[in-house]
Structure 1
Amino acid sequence: MQGDMGWGSLTVLALAASGANALLRFSCSQLVVERLDPLVNPGLAPSPHLHQIVGGNAFNTTMDPSTPPPSLATCTTCTFADDFSNYWTAVLYFRSRNGSYIRVPQKPNVGFEQARGGMTIYYIPYIGSTKSSVTAFKPGFRMLIGSQSSRTREETSRFRQLTYTCLQNMLTRTGETLDMPKKPCPAGIMSNVRFPTCWDGKNLDSPDHMSHIAYPSSGTFESYGPCPSTHPVKIPQLFYEVIWDTTRFNSKDLWPEDGSQPFVWSQGDKTGFGNHGDYVFGWKDDALQKAMDSNCDRCPQLKSQSIAQGNQCTRPVQVHEQIDGWLDAIPGLTPGLEDQM
């Protein structure tokens, strides 16, 4: 598995640089950081744990599948201006030796240095020279990958490709691991979230937000694995890269005296195995399908905006609480019980 994961990440970076493949790689700046999750906890404000959200400003406590984001959003933080989708993950905190916490900031990826934190988004219809048609996501489509409650390698390995890269420099794309890096990373930690690439062709969602999608029946997307008969429709590989600027915490004098790693996901996960990502589709009209069909890398036919324009897209915070500065506990968690979720 490790070989497949490393090869896939290295490949998409090379393809992005060469423009040799039908591949969308773009920046989405941070929209808001707060305790909302319209997928897992619709209508609940605050939700149990903190998320960082990028994309369209229609993100809300509840997002009705019958009302697609493009009909409600007025802007997006993404560089493709027709993409009003929302992409979100948990938030990373650093735990000091005295038990207090501080939020780890995000930093932009290579080529998107002017972005305001956020993440890099990939949509990949195929790898290498073997072209195959994919069906773009439909209005109302949404999905989740990973489990906030996973705490063991066995639990998280069923998701295949939720990993971390200990960045030796900003171009490092090898050495992915399932668990959180156990030593200081010179250029930060990149969390990688790859979604399944097969769909049942019928359901836009499912009760667990995962049953309507599936990984290839054998191999991986990068190794041309076939879709299972239960999920025969090929969909694009959706892939998030989030870079956490852990460099200010690299001194071993700041790490726990027992040598364990000090980073904790906002749901209270110290292992890193609870890495997960959420997605609500929101491309306008058939823009994404056209991009997937056209074998383009930057897709000039798509409406785009500058990163500076994306940085200006905002949405008022709905859950008002302290999430920055030194805290006695991660928002939503009880002090001393950071692994309760």
Structure 2
Amino acid sequence: MRFNPSHLAAIAVSLITLMAPVMGFWRLPCRGVLTVARIDPIVDPGIPSMHAHSIHGPNNFAMEVTSDDLLASECTSCEVVQDKSAYWTPSLYFINPSGEAELVKQVGGMLVYYLPRGDNVQAFPRGFRMLAGDTYQRNFTLPTPDPPKAVWAEKDKTQFSLGQKAIGFNCLNYDNPPEPSLMRHNFPDRAFIDSKCKDGIRMELVFPSCWNGKDIDSPDHMSHVAYPDLVDVGSCPNGFEKRLVTLMYETIWDTMAFKGQAGEFVLSNGDPTGYGYHGDFIEAWENDVLQRAIDTCTNLSGRVEDCPLFQLQSEDDQRKCTIENPKALGGERYDFNPEGLPGKVPIIRGPGYALRPISSPSAPETMPKPVVPDPKVKLPQDDQPVVPRPETTTAPPPPTTPAPKTPGMVSEKPKLEQPYTTSYSTKGSTIYEIVIIRTTVTKTVDLPSPTAQAKRHENRSGVKGRFRRHGHALNH
């Protein structure tokens, strides 16, 4: 499928109908993909990221990077050469019934919308970073479809609700009128995609634009910013009165390349629903170009060509700007991975919130709950040894003395403690999560001697394996 520039006007009109009042804006084309890799210098600096991303921006992008590093880059995969900012989202994969993962191609790269909305809109301060979306979300907690913004209630305007509404999955069919932006907040049904979306799926993500005016980042990379009460327009909450230019990411994926094939589409973070779609941003605009553009580039066309401040480069030059993936990733395959999603990420369907692994730097210190073993599931074979995860191992609880029991009574009801260890193993296209539960059994028995009246209390401790299987092979 080819990208059709003639439909940009229709897309822009769809976007403008979402925004009110109508103001100047521009969409920044990033036709080149810098790389696809498990790199995320915001959430996982210096280590392989938990899942793969499609990354756009300058060639100094790395597992650890600053805005000054980005500004020193020799090239960028985006059209405006004064912009060395970095933009990235999860990649989209097609998982076939045998569990192999094939990267879905982008159509035309990414478009980054810069939308000056509100009063006294400011450029991002130097070194600014932020995230939008929640990689662990697996459901939508509000009624669908969204009611008109004019009648949004307080429950529609919480930051949690606004973050969910800031995600969109647009079904593209250029033979029909375009769908409104942010109309659908989940990935469409596969049959719907094959029959209705002949020009692909466009993923949309709006970032917060209300700022606390002091922090360029925060521990969770989100708390220093907030959404206005209508997602992209409206009033900012108390403490976040500074208005930044609004960012919106828009990426088209060639889903029709897989029409009729058995399998499913899954984001690289193991999300088949789309509710966990998210994006990252690091600012790196040269000098004061961004602020000057906000103040003077008011053409409603949205074309970067209509802003004389911008120095532009060709699409060929954008596509030439790439990087080699770090050696720390060990030559991991991203275009086609026979072992499933890169990083062996399990597919978690929800609707419950996907548990954060303890290894994540930003994860809360929580343990997964014990699960009831499935009698149909077999343990991994000897040629697939379980690899312990030290970071999820807790010390066993100290032994306790059982309370005395009435002579002649027998008690064998086990007491389940907290998980003793947790580990993971992969067999084929199935990922096993092995949760070891410490069990204490107290048993009171009579002594064998007929003359003995005393009882012996025996406290036995042991471990029993409980496991669950995260299957991401499909049966079609």
TM-score category (smaller protein): 0.7 to 0.9
Unaligned 5+ runs, structure 2: 1-10, 143-159, 300-305, 345-425, 432-469
Shift of 1:22: 2.0
Within-5 A mapping of 1:278-297: 278-297=280-299
Question: 1:201-225: CA deviations, max 9, x gaps?
Answer: 1000000100011011x3232xx41
Question: 1:248-295: CA deviations, max 9, x gaps?
Answer: 1222xx245xxxxx1101111111111000000011111100000003
Alignment-derived partner of residue 172 in structure 1: 178
Q: Is the 8 A contact 1:125 1:133 kept in 2?
A: no
Alignment-derived partner of residue 4 in structure 1: none
Task: Label 1:226 to 1:13 Cα distance change in 2 as closer, same or farther (>3 A).
Answer: closer
Task: Label 1:79 to 1:173 Cα distance change in 2 as closer, same or farther (>3 A).
Answer: farther
Tell me the number of residue pairs that the alignment of Structure 1 and Structure 2 aligns: 304
Alignment-derived partner of residue 317 in structure 1: 325
Task: Label 1:203 to 1:43 Cα distance change in 2 as closer, same or farther (>3 A).
Answer: same
Alignment-derived partner of residue 69 in structure 1: 70
Alignment-derived partner of residue 456 in structure 2: none
Measure the CA separation in 1 of the matches of 2:245 and 2:307. 16
Shift of 1:14: 7.5
Alignment-derived partner of residue 38 in structure 1: 41
Alignment-derived partner of residue 209 in structure 1: 221
Measure the CA separation in 1 of the matches of 2:333 and 2:169. 27
Question: 1:60-104: CA deviations, max 9, x gaps?
Answer: 110135x3521x211111111100000000011112233322111
Correspondence for 2:27 among 10, 19, 25: 25
Q: Is the 8 A contact 1:267 1:339 kept in 2?
A: no
Measure the CA separation in 2 of the matches of 1:134 and 1:282. 18
Give SS of 1:242's match.
Answer: strand
Task: Label 1:173 to 1:25 Cα distance change in 2 as closer, same or farther (>3 A).
Answer: farther
The residue type paired with residue 266 of structure 1 is: S
Measure the CA separation in 1 of the matches of 2:341 and 2:16. 34
Shift of 1:11: 4.5
Measure the CA separation in 2 of the matches of 1:13 and 1:208. 31
Task: Label 1:39 to 1:14 Cα distance change in 2 as closer, same or farther (>3 A).
Answer: same
Measure the CA separation in 2 of the matches of 1:339 and 1:265. 16
Q: Is the 8 A contact 1:162 1:275 kept in 2?
A: yes
Correspondence for 2:111 among 97, 102, 120: 120
Alignment-derived partner of residue 4 in structure 2: none
Shift of 1:120: 0.5
Shift of 1:234: 0.6
Give SS of 1:12's match.
Answer: helix
Q: Which moved more, 1:190-199 or 1:98-107?
A: 98-107
Alignment-derived partner of residue 61 in structure 2: 59
Query: Could you say what the CA RMSD is over the residues aligned between the two structures, in angstroms?
Result: 2.5
Alignment-derived partner of residue 87 in structure 1: 87
Give SS of 1:296's match.
Answer: coil
Alignment-derived partner of residue 242 in structure 1: 251
Give SS of 1:289's match.
Answer: helix
The residue type paired with residue 26 of structure 2 is: L
Measure the CA separation in 1 of the matches of 2:338 and 2:120. 49
Measure the CA separation in 1 of the matches of 2:274 and 2:12. 19
Shift of 1:191: 0.6
The residue type paired with residue 186 of structure 2 is: D
RCO comparison, higher one (Cα < 8 Å, 6+): 1
Alignment-derived partner of residue 340 in structure 2: 329
Question: 1:84-142: CA deviations, max 9, x gaps?
Answer: 0000000111122333221111111xxxxxxxxx200110103xxxx732010011100
The residue type paired with residue 49 of structure 2 is: S
Q: Is the 8 A contact 2:39 2:62 kept in 1?
A: yes
Q: Is the 8 A contact 1:138 1:204 kept in 2?
A: yes
Shift of 1:172: 2.7
Measure the CA separation in 1 of the matches of 2:64 and 2:223. 21
Alignment-derived partner of residue 259 in structure 1: none
Q: Is the 8 A contact 1:34 1:50 kept in 2?
A: yes
Q: Is the 8 A contact 2:87 2:279 kept in 1?
A: yes
**Which of these two proteins has the greater Rg computed from alpha carbons?**
2
Q: Is the 8 A contact 2:81 2:313 kept in 1?
A: yes
Shift of 1:9: 6.9
Measure the CA separation in 1 of the matches of 2:23 and 2:334. 40
Task: Label 1:339 to 1:157 Cα distance change in 2 as closer, same or farther (>3 A).
Answer: farther
Task: Give the TM-score of the pair, scaled to structure 2.
Answer: 0.60
Q: Is the 8 A contact 2:208 2:231 kept in 1?
A: no
Task: Label 1:62 to 1:55 Cα distance change in 2 as closer, same or farther (>3 A).
Answer: same
Identity rate, percent: 37
Q: Is the 8 A contact 2:34 2:59 kept in 1?
A: yes
Measure the CA separation in 2 of the matches of 1:332 and 1:339. 15
Q: Which structure: greater strand fraction? A: 2
Shift of 1:12: 3.3
Q: Which moved more, 1:226-235 or 1:166-175?
A: 166-175
The residue type paired with residue 93 of structure 2 is: Y
